[in-house]
Structure 1
Amino acid sequence: MDGTPEELTTLVGREVYSNNGVFVGEVDDIRLDLDRQSVTGLALGRLNDELFRNRIEPGKGVLIPYRWVRAVGDVILINDVIERLKQPDEEEESSLVA
């Protein structure tokens, strides 16, 4: 991507997945650093309930750093770091059961 406006606008509406294939959300907007003429983040909506339940109010979105993006094509792939959001709750629940 060379940063032309036409290419940037094509990112809006694309689905975002972790590189493990887990749906994360859909691109609603793009965050830019105008001084450096670069993309710094992606604003996501239509979020995966499993990943964001009890963390993000329904109807709200998240902003992910663009450095997490691994590939841009028909969909956008990001690092699996987003999946680690689930772990604290899972660990809490398993310690409560044990």
Structure 2
Amino acid sequence: MDGTPQEITTLVGREVYSNNGVFVGEVEDVRLDLGQESVTGLALGELSQELFAGRIEAGKGVMIPYRWVRAVGDVILINDVVERLDEEDEDEEVVA
């Protein structure tokens, strides 16, 4: 992705799945590094209750680092989120 506004806006609304096919959530917003003109994170809402039960308050979302993204197409594939959340809790941010 080269960071053009048209490409960034197409990320919003896409479903996010782990690389093993488990639904994670839906992109609600993106976090940008304006200096680098790049996407640094994806804010997810409509989270999978199965994956996030007991981790995230109902009605909240998560910010995942963009480096977790493996592929962007009709859906976005990321590294296995359950394992990653356990390993890298410090990268997880709860957003309203």
Aligned-residue offset at 1:85: 6.7
The one-letter code matched in structure 1 to 2:13 is G
**Which residue of structure 2 aligns with residue 51 of structure 1?**
51
**Which residue of structure 1 aligns with residue 93 of structure 2?**
none
Say whether the 8 Å CA contact 1:47–1:61 is kept in structure 2.
yes
Structure in which a larger fraction of residues adopt helix: 1
- Tell me the number of residue pairs that the alignment of Structure 1 and Structure 2 aligns: 86
Structure ID, larger Rg: 1
TM-score, normalised via structure 1 length: 0.83
**Which residue of structure 1 aligns with residue 15 of structure 2?**
15
The one-letter code matched in structure 2 to 1:84 is E
What are the Cα deviations for residues 48-78 of structure 1, in whole angstroms up to 9, with x where unaligned?
A: 0011111111000000000000000000000
How many Å separate the matches in 2 of 1:54 and 1:85? Answer: 16
How many Å separate the matches in 1 of 2:85 and 2:8? Answer: 30
What are the Cα deviations for residues 22-52 of structure 1, in whole angstroms up to 9, with x where unaligned?
A: 0000000000011111110000000000111
Work out the percentage of aligned pairs sharing the same amino acid.
Answer: 77
**Which residue of structure 2 aligns with residue 68 of structure 1?**
68
TM-score, normalised via structure 2 length: 0.85
**Which residue of structure 1 aligns with residue 35 of structure 2?**
35
How many Å separate the matches in 2 of 1:85 and 1:67? Answer: 12
Say whether the 8 Å CA contact 2:2–2:38 is kept in structure 1.
no
Structure in which a larger fraction of residues adopt strand: 2
Is there any run of 5+ residues in structure 2 with no aligned partner, and where?
87-96
Say whether the 8 Å CA contact 1:28–1:45 is kept in structure 2.
yes
Moved over 4 A (4+): none
Aligned-residue offset at 1:2: 1.7
Aligned-residue offset at 1:84: 2.2
The one-letter code matched in structure 1 to 2:77 is L
Q: RMSD value over aligned CA atoms?
A: 1.5
